[in-house]
Amino acid sequence: MNTTLLWSELFVAALIILLASNFLTKSADVIALKTGLGRSFVGVVMLATATSLPEMGTGISSVSIVGTPDLAMGAAFGSNLFNLLIIAILDIFWRNGSILSSINGSSITVCIFSIGIIIVAAIAIGFHQLTSVLSNWYLSPFSIILAILFLWAIYKLYIANRNVHVSEDQNGLDNNNYAEYSVRKAFTVYLTAATVVVVTAIWLAQIGDDLATAMEWKASFVGTQFLALITSLPELATSFAALRLNAPELAITNLLGSNLFNMTFVLLIDDIAYTKGVVWAGISSIHAITAIIAIAMTFVVLFSLMTQPRRRISKYLTYETCLLTLLYIFGSFIIFILA
């Protein structure tokens, strides 16, 4: 296919996602505030799930149609890196000090679970690379363990959000002028916008796959860098939409929650869709390095959430922004060299 046409399709799909993400984020914010569930919980359960479904669609097509599990795993693990880089990008545009100092304690729960789950995923890669004991199984026990950990994380987050004060939610409600925005309307808009984002993003991922083929890029690098960036576009769009709503917590939990979803249900579905055995046994060990970089980047976010940084080292930069960016560049360089 003509590469000019593919790049044009990429632009159109990206524009549709940007427009739909505004409606998706606003409706999710209304649901969070009017139902009392809180922005952290809704950011992980509703917003992150909707924006992470493209990774799932890409993974299914990569392992079942294209027959390249490295593309699927690269998109999932690479999306983790890009989602964490988005936090650094958001911090540059957030003008009220460090963006991570504007987040409440429940986001720490999401961050801790994110680190733990990525560690389990890295162990799964190492285990299946070192031994073929479970390679002929239809499904890896690690895939099931990761899915269970995600459900546990959601439960713990729900418990943590029960401590959120009603007054905080009401302040957010007043500031965002949602008085005439009903919950029913919010759910309708959310479902419609989520459908548009997911369908368009899956189309976007297919365009990316076609571009990768046309440009003759390596599967592991394409998955980790190019496809990961493309499938993370919904997270980028919804996060900036959340900032415009003055809802930084919704943005951050959306990104951390997307990483949770990528490492659990996306990898579980990839494993189910892969019919040649356990998907973990058919991938490159390079993804373990990607996981380690993601763990290091998430630790930076966790440390910042726990210490609540207030000062910037310049007008636009904080220490955590610099660290996240440097780790992303370092990880990308290593993956490019070793892929």
Q: What is the DSSP letter of 178?
A: -
Residue predicted with more confidence, 220 or 88 = 88
pLDDT exceeds 50 at position 295: yes
CB 258 within 8 A of CB 235: yes
Residue 112: predicted pLDDT: 92
List the chain domain ranges.
Answer: 3-338
CA gap 252, 160 in Å, rounded: 16
Residue 227: predicted pLDDT: 65
Helix segments in the chain, DSSP class H: 3-35, 39-42, 48-61, 69-93, 106-130, 141-161, 166-175, 183-215, 219-221, 228-231, 233-244, 248-261, 267-273, 286-307, 319-338
Residue predicted with more confidence, 321 or 50 = 321
CB 124 within 8 A of CB 290: no
Residue 62: predicted pLDDT: 74
241 Cβ contact partners less than 8 Å away, ≥ 6 residues apart: 21, 22, 24, 25, 26
Residue 222: predicted pLDDT: 56
What are 268's two structure tokens? 């579980």
| 97-154 tens-digit pLDDT | 788 887 866 788 889 999 999 999 999 999 998 888 877 788 899 999 999 999 998 8
CA gap 280, 69 in Å, rounded: 8
What average pLDDT score do residues 321-327 get?
94
What are 109's two structure tokens? 């729960």
Residue 329: predicted pLDDT: 92
What is the percentage of the chain residues whose pLDDT exceeds 90? Answer: 24
Residue 66: predicted pLDDT: 65
Residue 148: predicted pLDDT: 94
pLDDT exceeds 60 at position 338: yes
Of 103, 80, 95, 125, give the one whose Cα is nearest residue 257: 80
| 54-110 tens-digit pLDDT | 777 777 777 877 677 877 788 788 889 999 999 999 999 887 778 888 786 678 888
Residue 162: predicted pLDDT: 65
What is the percentage of the chain residues whose pLDDT exceeds 70? Answer: 86
Tell me the HSE value of 45 on the side-chain side, using a 13 A CA sphere. Answer: 18
CA-angle at 309, arms to 307 and 312, nearest 5°: 160
CB 270 within 8 A of CB 59: yes
| 159-181 tens-digit pLDDT | 877 655 444 444 444 444 566 77
CA gap 300, 294 in Å, rounded: 10
CB 161 within 8 A of CB 37: yes
pLDDT exceeds 90 at position 308: no
CA gap 47, 26 in Å, rounded: 10
pLDDT band at 218 (very low <50, low <70, confident <90, very high): low
Residue 59: predicted pLDDT: 77
Fold of 3-338: A middle domain of Talin 1 (1.20.1420)
Arithmetic mean of pLDDT over the chain? 82
Of 229, 254, 230, 226, give the one whose Cα is nearest residue 240: 254
